[in-house]
A and B are shown apart, each in its own frame.
Chain A
């Protein structure tokens, strides 16, 4: 990657409002290839809207959003499918289709994204691989309602990564899960990121989630997370944190700066380690 390559995702003075209520207020930032972003913020501070805006699911009132260098605010719904096929998204409540089995759910983007052409046999193999990736290969024929919350979340991650998108968006992947399951989910997110240097945006409430993403790398040979911070300056710089307050971006910087911030709102999201 050269420093001049266009950012994978760029927001330029983006504002979004619903029925007069401001959801995003003049938000500008950019994410470069291979970087990770952790988004913190109180409920209703606009984090989910931001992820949806990045996919073109929500249209901004003003400002521009660039995904892979293309201004998606100028595109029509039918023209967005090309961009969307390159972006994987995990929705807050998993958003698996209830009427389909897990295998059909995971296969859905392979056979419905217009920009992706996939043979039936190749697709089946990809589905199995994606489900193996999240350690759910035994649930192919089950329906989402038969799975636990954590398993549903994992199946949804499989659906997000099955097409191998270069940009992944995670909306509160650990919300409502117990700490052990939550850590497993984060390990999967780190694994998805490090297996193919995917650009990652993650909305979360838990500081530990951000800490794991920022400080750990997935060791593909060892099959587990390993602490790398301090040993690789390039890796340390690749994760940045953003804090939102009532639709405004109030903090954008590396973890060290976040931990040292004296702002009372920002420091609420930081888990102090004594």
Chain B
């Protein structure tokens, strides 16, 4: 029984130790600013095409589904409101995070995993560099910086996608955009920006954790990559539930 629990508990412990070290390193010299910008480019600019595509089509499909559901109540004109709220609060952050998790948790895990199995991590330590300082902290900072920005872009592109569908079903553009604009309160915006910030921790740290704990050669790299994507995606769903719960229950009032 205890043997069965040992491995997951060790994983959680290892994850939190890594998270603690990565966070502590943010304030400590040396700072690898160049690596931070490089990672922001890879994670942020690199993810832009898929984030725009998924954002656009999720907004469009939301508008399609919602207009049909709303037509039963004769409220098709409120499509803009529903699309805006759903996108900003939930769909934008979660879909963007899932895309970035699929693309970057795996990328980080496989890159660090390959470095681990080819002894590059050991070499880094032997040559006087803390691998967490050099590899984990820049990826964490970069993901935390770009994921909220990507989410904002996805939200906007999604609303634009919805507006095209709205135009196809003869909702005036003005009505759609006014509805969308009026529907959003500060609480939605804060929620919509806090979520990606929290997801960024999960995505970056899970990728780094599985990468750095890779064992067993190239096969191990494959395993680490798969685990990183699965765990990061599941964490995104768990986190979004709890953050939403906090906002809905009014613990945070804005």
A-side interface residues toward B, CB under 8 Å?
Answer: 52, 55, 57, 77-78, 81, 84-85, 87, 89, 91-93, 95-98, 108-109, 112-116, 159
Contact = CB atoms under 8 A, between A and B. Distances in A.
A52 B122 CA distance: 9
10 contacts: A57-B125, A77-B130, A87-B126, A89-B123, A89-B126, A93-B118, A93-B119, A108-B127, A112-B128, A112-B129
A114 B129 CA distance: 9
B120 interface: yes
Nearest to A58: B122
Interface string B97-131: 00000000000000000110011101111111110
A109 B125 contact: no
B211 to A, nearest CB: 14
A97 B119 CA distance: 10
A165 to B, nearest CB: 11
B118 A95 contact: yes
A97 B127 CA distance: 11
Interface in B170-210: none
Interface in B125-144: 125-130
Given A91-B123, A95-B123, A97-B123, A113 B128 contact: yes
A40 B128 CA distance: 28
Contacts of B126: 55, 57, 84, 87, 89
Task: List the 4 shortest-distance A-B pairs measured between CB atoms, nearest first.
Answer: A113-B128, A95-B123, A95-B119, A91-B119
B38 to A, nearest CB: 9
A27 B117 CA distance: 26
Nearest to A88: B126
Contacts of A91: 119, 122-123
Contacts of B115: 97-98
Given A84-B126, A115-B128, 18 more contacts: A57-B122, A57-B125, A57-B126, A84-B127, A85-B128, A87-B126, A91-B119, A91-B122, A95-B118, A95-B123, A96-B123, A97-B124, A98-B114, A98-B120, A112-B128, A113-B127, A114-B128, A116-B128
Interface in B65-121: 114-115, 118-120
B65 to A, nearest CB: 44
Contacts of A87: 126
A109 B127 contact: yes
A116 B130 CA distance: 16
A131 to B, nearest CB: 17
A159 B127 CA distance: 9
A124 B130 CA distance: 23
Contacts of A78: 130
A97 B120 contact: yes
B128 A95 contact: no
Nearest to B114: A98
Contacts of A114: 128
A188 to B, nearest CB: 18
B120 A95 contact: yes
A113 B30 CA distance: 12
Nearest to B121: A95
Nearest to B124: A97
B129 A95 contact: no
Nearest to B38: A99
A96 B115 CA distance: 9
A115 B115 CA distance: 25
Contact of A81 (B119, B123, B128): B128
B97 to A, nearest CB: 26
Contacts of B118: 93, 95
Give the residue among B119, B123, B124, B125 with the most A Cβ atoms within 10 A. Answer: B123
Contacts of A84: 125-128
A57 B130 CA distance: 12
B66 to A, nearest CB: 46
B136 to A, nearest CB: 15
Contacts of A97: 115, 120, 123-124
Give the residue among B115, B124, B126 with the most A Cβ atoms within 10 A. Answer: B126
A101 to B, nearest CB: 15
A102 to B, nearest CB: 14
A109 B128 contact: yes
A78 B127 CA distance: 12
A87 B114 CA distance: 25
Contacts of A96: 120, 123
A98 B126 CA distance: 17
Contact of A112 (B119, B120, B122, B127): B127
Contacts of B128: 81, 84-85, 109, 112-116
Contacts of A115: 128
Contacts of B127: 84, 108-109, 112-113, 159
B142 to A, nearest CB: 15
A113 B120 CA distance: 16
Nearest to A19: B215
